[in-house]
Structures are given as structure tokens and as C-alpha cells.
Amino acid sequence: MNSVPRVLAVLDDLLRDATPEARGALWQLAEQGRELDANLVRLPPGGEVGTHQEDVLDVLLVVVAGNGRIDTGDGALELTPTTVAWLPRTSRRALAAGPDGLTYLTVHRRRPGLAITSPAAPALSYEGGEAPCMLDRVCPGCGRLSQDPEPVFCSRCGERFTEG
């Protein structure tokens, strides 16, 4: 495979074209054969991603617009436009958007894809991996990550998930 550099997105254009209600992943890196994952994510004013821990991957977070904070358990890190934060693997953190919302780009190594093989058909495999963003499974009320791939109501607080 001979790859050629190219522009995949212009963040200003994505933000300008997104409706004010748009939240979650506004853009995702989806190129075949890539070794990175990247997501442009928008949290609404006061929106949160509840406390979670990534055990496998370091994540780079770059604030594009708005403001907010990362709660680390040891304190809060303030986020403003152009802030670059490193979220090391095994760190516990929560994100909270300020009154103007928070839009950020995350970049991390891609998780290894799944491979299905059998003795009868050893060449049968496909490129897979974890979904690039699970914000659609984060409760807007309490920040809990739902185990249901298409949640309607939060099992913790009863809040209705927004419809995609």
C-alpha cells in the first residue's frame, strides 16, 4: 500500500457546519489501515463525561473551543482553547464542560483490530477495533457509561438518552 498525505478535515469548517445542538463525536478518523484514532468531540454547556479509566492507551486531548476542566481525583486541570492535555493510561479522570460548552480533539494509538481465523480458512480476517467514541452511551444526567450499545434510559438515574 502506497499512502499519500492528504487533508481529512478542517476543524473550523466542521464546527461552523455543526448545529448548535450537535454533541458527541462531530468527526472521527476512519481511514483504512491507520495506526491512530482521532475524534472531534463536543460537550454541551455543563455537559460531563463521568469518571473513567483507560487502562491500555495514552490519550492526547487538544481543546478547540469552549472551556471546561479535567477532574483527576487529585484536583482539576483547567481547559481553555489551545490547551493540550496528556491523559496517561491507567489515569482516572472525568471531563466537565464550562458554560460555553467544550469541543476537543482526542488522538491515541489505535487498538489492535479483531482477527477471526480458523484452520479451514486462515485468511478470513477483518480490520476491526473499538468504536472511536462512546459518548452516545454516556448518560447526560449522571455521566454513567451505559453497557447497552443503544441506551434509551440510564439505569442509574433514569435520564433519557438523546436520540441520534
Burial class (CB in 10 A: 0-12, 13-18, 19+), 164: exposed
Asked if the structure places residue 86 within a domain, the reply is yes
| 41-69 pLDDT tens trace | 999 999 999 898 888 889 999 999 999 99
pLDDT tier at 83, thresholds 50, 70, 90: very high
Percent of the chain whose pLDDT exceeds 90: 48
Residue 146's region, left for phi above 0, alpha for psi from -120 to 50, else beta, is: beta
**How is 127-162 classified by DSSP, letter by letter?**
-----S--GGGB-TTT-PBPSSSS-SB-TTT-PBPP
Task: Check residue 46 and report its DSSP letter.
Answer: T
**Number of domains the chain is built from:** 1
Query: Would 50 be classed as within a structural domain?
Result: yes
Residue 30: inside a domain: yes
| Measured distance CA(97)–CA(93) in Å, rounded | 14
32 inside domain: yes
- Beta-bridged to residue 87, according to DSSP, are 59
The answer to the question of residue 129 being in a domain is: no
Q: What is the CATH number of the domain that holds 84?
A: 2.60.120.10
Range of the domain at 50: 11-111
> Taking residues 60-81, what's their average pLDDT?
96
| pTM of this structure | 0.68
What length is written for the chain? 164
**41 occurs within a structural domain:** yes
Asked, for residue 69, whether it belongs to a domain, the answer is yes
Given a contact cutoff of 8 angstroms between Cβ atoms, the answer to whether 119 and 73 are in contact is: no
Domain annotation covers residue 130: no
